[in-house]
Amino acid sequence: MKKLSVFLAVMAAVGLSAATTANAANNGKLMFKGTLTATTCEVLPGAGTGGGAAGEINVDLGNVSFRDIGTFAQGNLSTKEDIQLLVTCNGGGQPDSVKMRLVASQGSGLDLQEPKLLRTSGDAKGVGIGLINSNSQLMSLNGNETIDADFVPDGLGNSTATLDFAAVYVLNNVNTVPGSADGYLPFVMDYQ
C-alpha cells in the first residue's frame, strides 16, 4: 500500500506540474537599455542651502507672514530663499552642460489652484511653493522647463557647474490658514 501511495503522490505532482505549465502560455521579453560612463557626478548643496539625507537638499523657507507674500502676479518676492546646487563631475568623458528638470508629479504634486506652484502639506492653507529662475520668472514644475548650467573644468580632471534659483511661498487664491507648509520636489539631472 505504501508503494501505491508514493506512486500516486508522484503522479499527482507530475500532473500538477504539467497543468501549471499548460496554463502559463503568455510569453514576453524584458528589454534593457543603458549606457555606462567613466564619469561620476555628484549634486551637493551650495551657498545658503543645507544637506539632508543622501540625495536630499534641504531648503528652509523660514517663518513667513501671509502679509509678506502675494500672488506671483503681484511680484512680491521679498521672502524668497536663494538655492544654489553644485554639480561636480570627475573621471573621463566630462559633460559640457547640465539641465535640471523639476518633476512635481513625483513629489508633493502641483497645487490644485495654481498649477505652477508646488502643493504643500501641513496645516497651512492658501499657499503653494514657487520656484524662481535666474530671470525672476515663476518656473513650470511639470518636468518640461529646465535650469541650465555649463561645466567649468578645474584642470585636474574634474568639472563643476553651479545651478542658481530660488523658492518662495505664493498665495494660491484659497482662504489662508496659518501653520506648517512643507513640500518636496524631485529633480532629474540631464548631462550633455
* 118, part of any domain: yes
| Residue 154 counted as domain residue | yes
Short-list 78, 88, 91, 79, CA closest to 46: 88
89-142 pLDDT, tens digit per residue, is 998 778 999 999 999 999 999 999 999 999 999 999 999 999 999 998 999 998
Domain holding 166: CATH number? Answer: 2.60.40.1090
Residue 85: give the domain boundaries. 40-191
For residue 10, the Cα-to-chain-centroid distance in whole angstroms is 54
Q: How many domains does the chain have?
A: 1
Helix or strand holding residue 191 (H, E): strand 187-191
Which is more confidently placed, 95 or 53?
Answer: 95
Residue 34 counted as domain residue: no
Count CB-CB contacts under 10 A for residue 104: 25
Is position 160 within any domain? yes
Task: Read off φ and ψ for residue 5, nearest 5 degrees.
Answer: -65, -45
10, part of any domain: no
Q: Look up residue 18 and give its three cell numbers.
A: 504539467
In a domain, 61, yes or no: yes
Q: Is residue 48 part of a domain?
A: yes
Q: What is the pLDDT of residue 155?
A: 86
Amino acid identity for residue 25 in this structure: A
Instruction: Specify burial of residue 145 (Cβ count, 10 A radius: 0-12, 13-18, 19+).
Output: middle
Query: Quick check: is 29 in a domain?
Result: no
Percent above pLDDT 90 for the chain: 55
pLDDT tens-digit map of 55-74: 788 999 999 999 999 888 88
All three cell numbers of 134, joined, read 535666474
